[in-house]
Structure 1
Amino acid sequence: MRMNRIYLRRAGKIMLKHTPDTEGIKRLPKGYLAAALRNLQGLGYTLSPALFRAVQKLTREDFEQLYYPLIADVKRMIGAHVNYAPVYPGFPEQVMQEDEAELYFNAMYHYYTWELPDVETAQRTPLEDQVKLKAIDLGSITEFRTLIRQLMEAKGSISAEDQKDIDAVIANTANEELDELLPPEIPFKENAGYVAASLLKHDKADVARISPYFKTATDVLRLAVAWSEGDVSLAAPTRFRKFKRRERRLLLGLLERCQTITEDMLRYKERWIRLGEILHPSEYKLRYKRCEEAFDILRNNKAFTTFNGSVELALQYHQMWTALDLLAQRPGEFARRLAQLLRMTREPEFVVMAFGEVANQVSTPVLLQVKNHFARQREGQELRVFFPKGMIAKAWAVPNTQPELDEGSCREIVDLCEQTLIARFSVQPSLGKVYIDERLKDYHVPFSQRSASKALHTLVRGSRIPMAEGNTIRFFCWWKEGEVDGTPTGRVDIDLSAVLYDHNWQYMEHISYTNLRSAQYQAAHSGDIVTAPYGASEFIDLHIPSMVEYGGRYVVATLHSFTGQPYCNLPECFTGWMMRKKPRSGEIYEPATVSNKIDVTADTQIAIPVILDLVERTVIWTDLSLTRDPFHVNNVEGNQKGMVIIGKAMTSLKKPDLYDLFTLHAKARGQLAVSPQQADTVFSVEQGVTPYHIEQIMAEYVV
């Protein structure tokens, strides 16, 4: 059942154990299947024709074993597994129509007593919105394992939820079937460290199986970190576990096989020293001589010339040819320093020429980012945006004060990257006739999903999603206090807020617990709840046309942990939004209308899941966390400066997009088609390879 839960969440498919020959077997009663379909439709789902036909062949007992976990999994995916009880059950009308004194009294009553005020229950009419159902399809074990293998083969970092899925699949795969699951190579070494650690944890690894994944000392360090349940990105220090003797020999054996280990170990000197205290390399100095020598240099601070030190020395003394010769040995580092080199020289053509000789050795993710960077050099971006490595989804933005580069040099580098990528992609199998949806320009290429939150539909930060039909967007959040790993959370108060800005990012108004409704446009908050022993929920309704008419454009949605607990220390906390055409009909929370639901689990107190562009009717996927409050007041009013900077940064973010990536593949491997019907391969928002096929894109197209 765990495998189907993963398959459903990642691909919208499930597997059946078997589809028996129905001869002599009593078929599933029609009433059972009809009731199941009605229940699924209430959640916004249905069965595909293939799955419908397969399910019909099941016995009643097999169907029940499939159906009940399926319903439970769908409910959890969209947030329908909990009870929603806002302060005002007649939201939004009750909030919009109640007088100020009553709103104030009810709020103070709750703050003083922690009990919800006695508010009249409103009668609600049935849901009038027409909902487009999402079909759950029939999958297979082969397709499922391919999906997980693609996740392992991703050319970028994967999320904590991705790692859990890989671990669960490894744990539930028989040893003799692992070769079908495991790829021969795992190019991104964070992923290699985690996969190998999972195999070791479940006693399914040996040196022959995992050694091809490790080529550098840092690869081995990541394995030790993953084995110790630490941060494989190495952005944060790890407390290493006490390794058994055979485990120490395995790590030292892998390290001994790597090339130039000393220089690589010096990159993380203090961590290697701490790890060495546990590995005891001196006990094996005759068997692992190179390891002993490297640890000796680290522990005793012996002189050792490093590559980066040599490059910095050459640049410091303006020895450009020496620097170029050195960087040609490490093309990836060359690519990352291109802009710096071009700004330092009066002869940029020689830098471009030198890079051209090694460009084919630079990884595809780096080439795509270099191409995008130089293509946009002269666009005059106000901010430079950085996403620091680590498990917390932070973003830093600084004023863009860098001088413009020579237009000719930028164009040459863009052409060079494009030619290199087309040549690389051309050796892949033909795509035939290819249709590429122009809307893919709004979706970014997935390079790093390390800090991505678990969501109903996960995207790359900065991507823009068209809003579904409807004029009202309804945000929701739900959280619960209790115990986590035996530690009580205490009282937990999570606040849902929405801040409105104009097209110049000038603050206009906010909707939050301090301002339950707007007098300028149609917007309302369902009421502040300050404790959640049995779970609590808050909602915000935003009527888009009235906000645009008022002059608003951007809305920043935020969650604040008012009582100070990090989200990772809560039993459960999630947020999401619905698009409603008839917001006064149906329940406040209608599962079938949920556009997306995001689990909030970061080690922070402030989360920014999305930003809305009301004029373009797009949802900008941000999935960000703030690690500290600039003004030390944990509510939306105290965060305006930080919100504006992040808002400007995310709405102006220019990253490599999927349209450009797939166009390069089409040039290299196929011919463009004018419509999906005429194409052998389709790249689109709704069909074929979509922006939500992140595993497939990272494994097969960022090659």
Structure 2
Amino acid sequence: MPHLLEPLVIRHSHRLPLPTGPAGQGDVAARQFDAVLMSVGFKLSADLLELLSGLSEGTVVDTAVRTLGTVRDMVGDHVRHNVYFIDFPANVPDTFDFWTRCITEALADDASRDRTLAQLESGVVNLLTLPSYGTYQHTYAEMLGHHDELIAAAGDRLTVLHLGSTTDDEVTALYLALAGSSTPLNDDDLSDLKVLAARCVDGPQPEAIPVRENRAVVNEARLTAGSELLLDTVTDVLRLACALSGGDVTLQEPTRFRTLPRPVRRALLAGLDSVIATAPAKLADVHAHREPWKRLGERLHPHEYPRWPHAAQVFAVARGELEARSFDSRVEELLGMQDVLGATQLLKSAPGKLFRSLDRLLRTAIDEEEREAVVAAAESVVTEVSGRVVLAVREHLHNRAGDTGERRVFVNRLGRAWVAEDQRPPVLPTERKRLITALDAEIGRRLPAPERLLVDPDVLDVALPLSGRATAAGLGVLPRGSVTPVAGELLRFFVYWKQAEERTDFDLSAVMLDAKYRTVAWLAYTSLTQVEGEHSGDITEAPDGASEFINLRLGAVRSTFIVPQVNIFAGEGFEEVEESFFGFMLREGEQQGQPFEARTVRMKSELRGPGRVALPLAFRRARDGTWTAKWMHLYLKGLHSGNRVEGNRVTIATLLRGIVEREHIDVRYVADLMAGGGTTVTVWDGETIPSEPVTYIGLERPDGLHPDSRIITPENLRDLVPA
């Protein structure tokens, strides 16, 4: 079991749990292990290399095998990345010439000649019917023979694996961090939490589990172990029922409830009964999820358990047999009567809802007196609002400074994006500035006050993860809205997918836009070459997995923006395929190498979202010619089939404008607040390692920091969001 949990620890913390085994002469094997790691962009820390060198050779080899498998998966090197054009990025043909060649080859093939002639006579040729189109024409080994070895460069990625404590300690620490997170986790992290909760249910527990989805996962483990459940709302019970049925604990997608064993039914009903007996007003929460409650009632059979009458009331409310007026309906009634003062007073009893309603209340207020009452109410309860909500409202108010009438970008919890006209009246400057001042003061009060803060300058513009669902799982992935520098001559995108059951065709594309978000050019299977670069060729099915690449020479790019995208042309969706991920590499011009080289990968992100078009991130060129990446993690609904870059350029341009021009709460904001609170903030020069303990925030943990230092990297950036 300990070895099974090692990958979780490595992925989340870049720490290798303390290797154990007999002492020996493992120095040669340890150096070989380090060398192989470096070939895929990883390296052992000095203390980890030293420890392994003192263990037996067999122990080092076993550790290396397990670890290499994990890191190769992290970077996308666990699969073979072939390309359609064997010499890519060299010798990629013109699109029309390539299609003509495919038709010529089809006419020379006895099996396809008649069909191709018939299509030519009709004036339309289906590329998918041409024998040489869309499938690899060579083996992976043959492709490797056409590429020189990669030349090492100083800019290649090097992710250090640090020495951890025992597996039990590392697993417990990871469990406490995920379960006690102040922000929601993404689906992959929730799955990891489920594994960890089952292991750690009898051990140390976090002081609080503020995120309800996390609580549902933990409660599932506690129910299985016979421990006391953590329930204080009826919705906690509903989420737990979803977890027990393998459903969606976020309640965004419907769950098909399973037939539950009698002991489980008793536990759920007893929990419901206790919640309502303690606070009858919580019956009003049932209205938000009436249909799931009715379906769950069919599985729990509450009428068979008269000893829990309060639980039966929950299902009576869901069926409409018992009235329980919701809090939101009372607020809506007051606002419907233009009673802003009454609505504000009522909302003070639910501080989180008050904060989420501030913009509307201020827009609805008819005079200065009402606006003053709204602001005063927010100031009086700000200490009772979660840090995540305070930060989210702070970010929202900051971005309400501009004129109204612009296009407004909406992104739901699943990452699906859409655009609408912004017809809201403005929030007046006086109230807006006063609220921002109050929010800054409250966040500053909650932040830790270390004596010294050391900050990597490249992390200053990284957005705080106010929701884990704004960050996909993967390596080097940052929250939506983050901005990071991009340095290198060649930028190369890649997508890999493996279909589960039906033929599936993913298409990697990139559209280039000017400073006014107008299309300059694009690279796709319909445009294989441009001044900027090359496309590796269209692969139209992936029973054994398939890859597509786009190679760009940044010095030749004629545009301000580069927007890579993955379109589903046919087949299974991102959440249906067996596996799919996107990433990008950076290289210098002379490095050569294979189309995919693990140590040049800067980011690898899982593609798991709704919609048929994925927009992971965008790249922007500044006036001085330098490039940055802006992280988006968006999905467009798209068409059921036939999605192409040509069909969604306008939507992408509009979305890009909304994301690029929105300013997010970032690490710089936190560092400035800490500096204002008396902390000495130092921007790290990338070389000098302080000898004393510090709080360090950066994209990677430097080797050699004092062991008592607090380390914050993208893997635990959520720790900067105060409770």
- Taking structure 1 as the reference length, the TM-score comes to 0.89
- How far 1:686 moved relative to its partner? 4.2
Matched with 2:392 is 369
Alignment of 1:231-380 (within 5 A): 231-258=248-275, 259=279, 260-285=281-306, 287-345=307-365, 346=367, 347=369, 348-380=371-403
Matched with 1:86 is 83
- How far 1:497 moved relative to its partner? 0.7
Matched with 2:11 is 9
Decide whether the 8 Å contact of 1:19 with 1:57 is kept in 2.
no
CA distance in 2, matches of 1:702, 1:99: 53
- Alignment counterpart, residue 421 of structure 1, candidates 438, 443, 447: 443
1:504 aligns with 2:531: no
- How far 1:479 moved relative to its partner? 2.1
- How far 1:453 moved relative to its partner? 2.7
Question: Could you give the per-residue CA deviations for residues 435-473 of structure 1, whole angstroms, max 9, x where no partner exists?
Answer: 445654421111211364321123211211211x31110
Q: Which amino acid aligns with 1:582?
A: G
- How far 1:540 moved relative to its partner? 0.7
Matched with 2:120 is none
- How far 1:118 moved relative to its partner? 6.9
CA distance in 1, matches of 2:233, 2:670: 30
CA distance in 2, matches of 1:171, 1:496: 39
Q: Which amino acid aligns with 2:190?
A: Q
Q: Which runs of 4+ in 1 moved over 6 A?
A: 118-122, 688-691
- Alignment counterpart, residue 556 of structure 1, candidates 563, 576, 579: 563
Query: Helix, strand or coil: the match of 2:580?
Result: strand
Q: 1:358/1:490 Cα in 2 relative to 1: closer, same or farther (>3 Å)? A: closer
Q: 1:623/1:288 Cα in 2 relative to 1: closer, same or farther (>3 Å)? A: same
Decide whether the 8 Å contact of 1:446 with 1:694 is kept in 2.
no
- How far 1:161 moved relative to its partner? 0.9
Matched with 2:159 is 134
Q: 1:690/1:225 Cα in 2 relative to 1: closer, same or farther (>3 Å)? A: same
Q: Which amino acid aligns with 1:593?
A: T
1:522 aligns with 2:545: no
Q: 1:516/1:318 Cα in 2 relative to 1: closer, same or farther (>3 Å)? A: same
CA distance in 1, matches of 2:445, 2:75: 43
- How far 1:186 moved relative to its partner? 0.4
CA distance in 1, matches of 2:258, 2:242: 9
- How far 1:412 moved relative to its partner? 1.0
Question: Could you give the per-residue CA deviations for residues 116-157 of structure 1, whole angstroms, max 9, x where no partner exists?
Answer: 447996743332241353221111132442233111111121
Question: Could you give the per-residue CA deviations for residues 38-77 of structure 1, whole angstroms, max 9, x where no partner exists?
Answer: 2222111221111101111221222222111211212111
Matched with 2:609 is 602
Matched with 2:695 is 681
CA distance in 2, matches of 1:51, 1:504: 50
Q: 1:608/1:502 Cα in 2 relative to 1: closer, same or farther (>3 Å)? A: same
Query: Helix, strand or coil: the match of 1:434?
Result: strand
Q: 1:591/1:132 Cα in 2 relative to 1: closer, same or farther (>3 Å)? A: closer
Between stretches 446-455 and 262-271, larger displacement belongs to 446-455
Q: Which amino acid aligns with 2:668?
A: Y
State the number of aligned residues. 667
Question: Could you give the per-residue CA deviations for residues 479-527 of structure 1, whole angstroms, max 9, x where no partner exists?
Answer: 223x4xxxxx232222111111111110111101111001xx2310111
Matched with 1:191 is 214
- How far 1:284 moved relative to its partner? 1.7
Matched with 2:115 is none
The Cα RMSD (Å) is 2.6
Q: 1:125/1:228 Cα in 2 relative to 1: closer, same or farther (>3 Å)? A: same
- Alignment counterpart, residue 664 of structure 2, candidates 620, 636, 655: 655
CA distance in 1, matches of 2:96, 2:309: 78
Between stretches 434-443 and 569-578, larger displacement belongs to 434-443
Between stretches 509-518 and 52-61, larger displacement belongs to 52-61
Q: Which amino acid aligns with 2:289?
A: Y
Matched with 1:486 is none
Query: Helix, strand or coil: the match of 1:608?
Result: strand
Query: Helix, strand or coil: the match of 2:380?
Result: helix
Matched with 2:114 is none
Matched with 1:388 is 412
1:614 aligns with 2:612: no
Decide whether the 8 Å contact of 2:415 with 2:610 is kept in 1.
no
Q: 1:669/1:288 Cα in 2 relative to 1: closer, same or farther (>3 Å)? A: farther
Decide whether the 8 Å contact of 1:574 with 1:598 is kept in 2.
yes
Decide whether the 8 Å contact of 1:434 with 1:679 is kept in 2.
no
Decide whether the 8 Å contact of 1:511 with 1:517 is kept in 2.
yes
CA distance in 1, matches of 2:621, 2:589: 18
Matched with 1:159 is 186
- How far 1:535 moved relative to its partner? 2.3
1:398 aligns with 2:398: no
Query: Helix, strand or coil: the match of 1:206?
Result: coil
CA distance in 1, matches of 2:268, 2:590: 59
- How far 1:663 moved relative to its partner? 3.2
CA distance in 2, matches of 1:646, 1:76: 31
Matched with 1:480 is 498
- Alignment counterpart, residue 38 of structure 1, candidates 29, 35, 42: 35
- Taking structure 2 as the reference length, the TM-score comes to 0.86
- How far 1:558 moved relative to its partner? 1.1
Q: Which amino acid aligns with 1:196?
A: N
Question: Could you give the per-residue CA deviations for residues 552-584 of structure 1, whole angstroms, max 9, x where no partner exists?
Answer: 011111112222311222222222111010266
Q: 1:456/1:435 Cα in 2 relative to 1: closer, same or farther (>3 Å)? A: closer
Alignment of 1:110-125 (within 5 A): 111=128, 112-113=130-131, 115-117=135-137, 123-125=146-148
CA distance in 2, matches of 1:362, 1:85: 51
Q: 1:434/1:441 Cα in 2 relative to 1: closer, same or farther (>3 Å)? A: closer
CA distance in 1, matches of 2:453, 2:95: 59
CA distance in 2, matches of 1:579, 1:662: 29
Matched with 1:221 is 238
CA distance in 1, matches of 2:603, 2:457: 23
CA distance in 2, matches of 1:563, 1:51: 47
- How far 1:94 moved relative to its partner? 0.9
Identical-pair percentage: 27
- How far 1:158 moved relative to its partner? 0.5
Matched with 2:482 is 463
Query: Helix, strand or coil: the match of 2:148?
Result: coil
Decide whether the 8 Å contact of 1:193 with 1:223 is kept in 2.
yes
Q: 1:44/1:296 Cα in 2 relative to 1: closer, same or farther (>3 Å)? A: closer
Decide whether the 8 Å contact of 2:182 with 2:721 is kept in 1.
no
Decide whether the 8 Å contact of 2:31 with 2:49 is kept in 1.
no
Structure 1's unaligned 5+ residue stretches are 484-488
Structure 2's unaligned 5+ residue stretches are 107-126, 702-708
Query: Helix, strand or coil: the match of 1:88?
Result: coil
Q: 1:294/1:567 Cα in 2 relative to 1: closer, same or farther (>3 Å)? A: closer
Q: 1:439/1:135 Cα in 2 relative to 1: closer, same or farther (>3 Å)? A: closer
Question: Could you give the per-residue CA deviations for residues 231-277 of structure 1, whole angstroms, max 9, x where no partner exists?
Answer: 11112221111111111111112112222231111221221121112
- Alignment counterpart, residue 196 of structure 2, candidates 151, 169, 172: 169
Question: Could you give the per-residue CA deviations for residues 296-321 of structure 1, whole angstroms, max 9, x where no partner exists?
Answer: 23324443332222211111112233
- How far 1:5 moved relative to its partner? 0.9
CA distance in 2, matches of 1:359, 1:256: 32
Query: Helix, strand or coil: the match of 1:93?
Result: coil
